Structure 1
Amino acid sequence: MSLNSILPNNEAMFNFFKSYRLPLYFSKPVLRHIQEFIVAATAKGYRGKVVDIAEWSSVHRTSIGHFLSDGVWDASYIQKIVQQESLHFVVSHSKETEQPLFVIHDDTVCNKTKPSSQAQRPIQQTEFHFSHLEGKSIWGHQVQATLVQCGNHSLIHTIHRYDKTKQSKIDDACELAKTMPIPPKSGYALVDSWYTCSKLMNTYAARGYQLIGALKTNRILYPQGIRVRLDTFASYVTQKEVRLVTVNGSSYWVYRYEGALNDIENAVVLLCWPKEAFQESKALHAFLCTDVSLETQTILDYYSRRWPVEIFFRQAKGNLGFNGYQVRSIRSIERLWTLLAFTHLYCTIGLGKPLPFGKGLRKVRKEVKGHYIQWIYGCGKKGIPLDDVLKHLKAG
């Protein structure tokens, strides 16, 4: 039995690679590194550091670093696989079930420590970005992600660094919108208030999608042709004009407005207050929907389907090292993100049947553990000395 690699043969993972013809495009050493990344990234305690990947490799961490920074392999091919397969899956599922197709845009900040002015090799392309989660500007990389969803299945479509020197977030989202397939049944783009604008609405409309997005309360409405701020208009809404709507177990008082906004000829705007906080100004939330045929309940139910992108960021940072990487070149960082997306795809649709990421993650861990036990058992049957096995596993 060969001891050339720490990782035992993983037939399921190899078949996953083979299904996308990776062996035709990548050398065996590159495929081994990709396998090592997936195994390391799905292991408990993974922090996103090169040393964590090296724990699952027979080579030194410097070789892993070289693979990420200077290795000869085309990360764009893997990006293309993630994009094509995520769309193929949700479009097929939409055709089979006649359920809507959702495209979800959002962004996050991967937090890094601001380097000293004396630092000779700081992490590239870091700067201050405003974090909505923390409510302040933090140092790091701003990353935009797009998920596609149908039914109970949410898949990562793209992860990429936002470069505000090249184009705005809206323009970036519009470029992605232009690549979306025509929805088989119906399609909706789900966004937060930073993306809710006529330009993105019109771009998605050209592809057959409606838009549902959060709305800032300073937006201008035109009830009966009168120009008024949304929050001002909301202060005149009475208890008789609202209805109670329950979404995901929480109840809200909702007022439905249909009409014009600045740059938008006609749309539905929902003014919402938690059940116990009606007419409290700080509790007011607003949502816009370009599909005026949808019922109020349906609009809020559909918007709640934006939550998986928040779960993705939480899982990617908590389980896949999305916030803990320490490689310094932007090429290495973007390659890490590409492999992270590929790992997410493997955990969701690469294990024989579609699974939520959390369940897929646990299944991969069990499979890897089982392969190790089988491999160690095989070493014993082959008469390989225990000291050699322990040394090979970096356990002795």
Structure 2
Amino acid sequence: MSHSTILPKNEAMFNFFKSHRLPLYFSKPVLRHIQEFIVAATAKGYRGKIVDIAEWSSVHRTSIGHFLSHGVWDESYIQKIVKQESLQFVVAHSQKTEQPIFVIHDDTVCNKTKPSSQAQRPIEQADFHFSHLEGKSVWGHQVQATLVQCGDHSLIHDVHQYDKTKLSKIDDACELAKTMAIPPKSGYALVDSWYTCAKLINTYAARGYQLIGALKTNRILYPQGIRVRLDTFASYVNPKEVHLVTVNGSSYWVYRYEGALNDIENAVVLFCWPKDAFQVSKALHAFLCTDVSLETQTILAYYSKRWPIEIFFRQAKGNLGFNGYQVRSIRSIERFWALLSFTHLYCTMGLGKPLLFGEGLRKVRKEVKGQYIRWIYECSRNGVPLEDVLKRLKAA
């Protein structure tokens, strides 16, 4: 069966494939499918569905489904490329600029419609998971993602399903932490309150990283050896003991504690209230930093660099179909996530220079549109009948 698309071979994309030796590992039909996936995933209106990919291919959507579910190709090599490329770039950039490396962990839920008890082919390994965005349990897959960042560049490093029957979130993050490159200057893991614990702190410390993370307000502190809950201690903070700190245009009253927590011998804890809500209990936020040498404003500025992972989730769901896939086998789903990560990497690192994802996405769309017009023009010059062109474009 032909594996040609409505577009000619994308030279920039093929060079990106060649630079990572994909032609040595994958057959030409597989490479064609990967190209079709990237082109479809970066097109306007892409929803993550196989029919969207089929719009850019001459093969039937069932062939694309077979490629994801039963195709003979190793998605782990794609995942390996994403991990290696992202780490190599941030390490090199850190060496050049002497800026710290940031490793950002978080998770999200890819919502799915809960199948009825009569469903013959339910989506594999879907379950109920609590969604912080919706504030309730939703049906779908819980996905853990890791970004690496240095300077203005944030790159996807890993995306995979979180399986609570095998590892806890902390153990899962620890396994990934063990694979991190030792930072040439300094390195920080940035996490939310679910990940801030001694086990992850110690695992990252062994790789040369400090940890900055949010804290739940029921954590136990030991000021002067006295055991007390964080929120209780915060209620006794005197206005004379706080100072105003401005980060990214927002101002906060901040109290700095340095000392012991449960299972943590010594760390900085920052108690933060918005400028107009000092001592409002529901407005209290707390952050831990294991690097006690950092100034208060630097700790908060570094923690704000965790925001790109939230942007990644929003962009992946809004542009790359992260929430819209309809393949049902877990193998197909994991391959879909691998190709999604590779697409994100191509938009940020595969276009001649490092770009923000949004910039890269717009550039890819322009390139594909230009090739599309060029192909029609060449057909016209070569006397290809209009009926053949329309048939190839699936417009007949």
Q: Describe the superposition over 1:271-322 as per-residue Cα deviations: whole angstroms up to 9, x where unpaired.
A: 0000111100000000000000000000000000000000000000000000
User: In the TM superposition, what is the alpha-carbon distance from 1:180 to its structure 2 partner?
Assistant: 0.4
In the other structure, the counterpart of 2:378 is 378
Task: After TM superposition, give the deviation of residue 268 of structure 1 in Å.
Answer: 0.1
Deviation at residue 5 of structure 1 after TM alignment: 2.7
- Name the structure 1 match of 2:210: 210
**Could you tell me which residue of structure 1 aligns to residue 51 of structure 2?**
51
- In structure 2, the partner of 1:232 is 232
Deviation at 1:49, TM superposition (A): 0.4
1:21-36 alignment to 2 at 5 Å?
21-36=21-36
Tell me which residue corresponds to 2:258: 258
Contact 2:3 2:58 in 1 (8 A): no
Deviations 1:52-84 (A, max 9, x none): 000000000000000000000010011000000
Equivalent residue for 1:167? 167
Q: Secondary structure at the match of 2:333?
A: helix
Q: Which residue of 2 aligns with 1:348?
A: 348
Deviations 1:236-267 (A, max 9, x none): 11211111111111111000000000000000
Is 2:10 the counterpart of 1:10?
yes
Aligned residue type for 2:256: R
1:387 aligned residue? 387
- Gapped runs of 5+ residues in structure 1? none
Query: What does 1:1-396 align with in structure 2 at a 5 Å threshold?
Result: 4-396=4-396
Distance in structure 2 (CA, Å) of the matches to 1:89 and 1:359: 18
Q: Which amino acid aligns with 1:345?
A: L
In structure 2, what is the Cα distance between the partners aligned to 1:31 and 1:4? 11
Contact 2:213 2:289 in 1 (8 A): yes
Summarize the Cα distance change of 1:3–1:37 in structure 2 as closer, same or farther, 3 Å threshold.
closer
CA distance in 2, matches of 1:92, 1:394: 45
Amino acid in the other structure paired with 1:340: L
Deviation at 1:3, TM superposition (A): 10
Answer whether contact 1:7 1:36 (CA < 8 A) is retained. no
Q: Distance in 2 between matches of 1:224 and 1:3?
A: 71
CA change 1:20–1:3 in 2 (3 A) is: closer
Distance 1:164 1:3 in 2: 39
Provide closer, same or farther for how the CA distance between residues 143 and 385 of structure 1 changes in structure 2, counting only shifts above 3 A.
Answer: same
Residue 366 of structure 1 aligns to a residue whose secondary structure is: helix
Q: Which amino acid aligns with 2:311?
A: I
8 A Cα contact 1:9 1:371, kept in partner: no
Query: Counterpart of 2:316 in 1: which secondary structure?
Result: helix
Q: Give the whole-Å Cα distance in 2 for the aligned partners of 1:37 and 1:120.
A: 28
The residue type equivalent to 2:177 in the other structure is A
Q: Distance in 2 between matches of 1:153 and 1:205?
A: 23
Amino acid at match of 1:70: H
Is the 8 Å Cα contact of residues 123 and 328 (structure 2) preserved in structure 1? yes
| Helix, strand or coil at the partner of 1:358 | helix
> Which ranges in structure 2 are unaligned for 5 or more consecutive residues?
none
Inter-partner Cα distance in structure 1 for 2:371 and 2:251: 48
**Count of residues in Structure 1 that have an aligned counterpart in Structure 2:** 395
SS in structure 2 at match of 1:354: coil
The amino acid that maps onto 1:231 is D
Q: Compute the RMSD of aligned alpha carbons.
A: 0.9
| Partners of 1:386 and 1:259 in 2: CA distance | 76
Give the match's secondary structure for 1:157: strand
Quick one: structure 1 residues 81 and 294, their matched pair in 2 at CA, closer, same or farther if it must change by over 3 Å?
same
In the alignment, is the contact (CA less than 8 A) between 2:189 and 2:204 conserved in 1? yes
What CA distance in whole angstroms lies between the structure 1 residues aligned with 2:220 and 2:78? 44
Distance 2:176 2:242 in 1: 37
Q: CA deviation at 1:160?
A: 0.2
Amino acid at match of 2:373: I
Can you list the C-alpha shifts for 1:169-224, whole angstroms capped at 9, x where unaligned? 00000000000011000000000000000000000000000000000000001111
Aligned residues of 1:156 and 1:344 also touching (Cα < 8 A): yes
What TM-score, normalized to structure 1?
0.99
Report deviation, 1:391. 1.0
TM superposition shift of 1:132? 1.4
Residue 4 of structure 1, CA deviation: 4.1
Q: In structure 1, what residue type is equivalent to 2:357?
A: F
Off by >6 Å, runs of 4+ in structure 1: none
Give the Å deviation of 1:9: 2.0
Query: Sequence identity of aligned pairs in percent?
Result: 87
Q: Aligned partners of 1:285 and 1:210: how far apart in 2?
A: 20
